[in-house]
Amino acid sequence: MMHDQLPKIFCFIDNYEKNYIKRLPKKIAIIYRNYNKNINKNEINKIKILCKKDNRKFFLANNIKIAMQLNLDGVYIPSFNKELKINYFAKKKKFKILGSAHNISEIRQKEKQRVNCIFLSPVFITNKTNKFLGIHKFNNLANYTSKKIICLGGIKKNNLKKIKLLNIYGFSSVSLFKKNIKYINI
């Protein structure tokens, strides 16, 4: 994998769990996302150091300033973040901006934010909501942009093979990797 190439598989975490991160296959990128607590720079630095040792990409959710200060690989901008005043000139060349969307208007918002790829969700049913896109609606929405698409939401062992039917660059999960399941390659 080239150093500045965008990963194809992402795992969301909400705290520093050294053993969990270490046992993930090395090509899986980490996104730290926890909206229930303030960002602890020491915790983020621990994750960064661990990821660096394994040559793993590491992204921080919803705080581009801290992601750049800590020299992370990039930032993940959630769908609820509509901010357009992102300082693109302060970011390093290899810094990636990831964004999340659930519909056409949010896809357009992420394009305006100049993201490198869009996490489109939820593709399948999740614990959070019974509303999900499904394969056909997901693929239809994915066709509204030329950005790379990462699927997210409800990806479990029983539907993992279905993601091969999606028009995607890669996939991401919150809980799939916690179950110690082998993942599929895109």
Please give the DSSP secondary-structure letter assigned to residue 182.
P
For 157-167, what is each residue's pLDDT tens digit?
A: 888 889 999 99
Q: Is the pLDDT of residue 132 over 70?
A: yes
Q: Cα separations (Å) of 49 from 110, 146, 147?
A: 29, 33, 30
Mean pLDDT value across the chain: 88
9-179 CATH fold: TIM Barrel (3.20.20)
Number of neighbouring beta carbons within 10 Å of residue 94: 12
5 pLDDT tier (thresholds 50, 70, 90): confident
- Domain boundaries in the chain? 9-179
The model's pLDDT over 81-131, given as tens digits with 9 standing for 90+, comes to 888 776 655 567 789 999 999 999 999 999 999 999 999 999 998 877 778
Taking the CA atoms of residue 90, residue 38, residue 45 and residue 170 in that order, the dihedral angle to the nearest 10 degrees is: -70
pLDDT at 181 over 60: yes
pLDDT at 69 over 80: yes
- 84 vs 68: CA distance, rounded Å: 17
Question: What mean pLDDT do residues 61-80 have?
Answer: 93
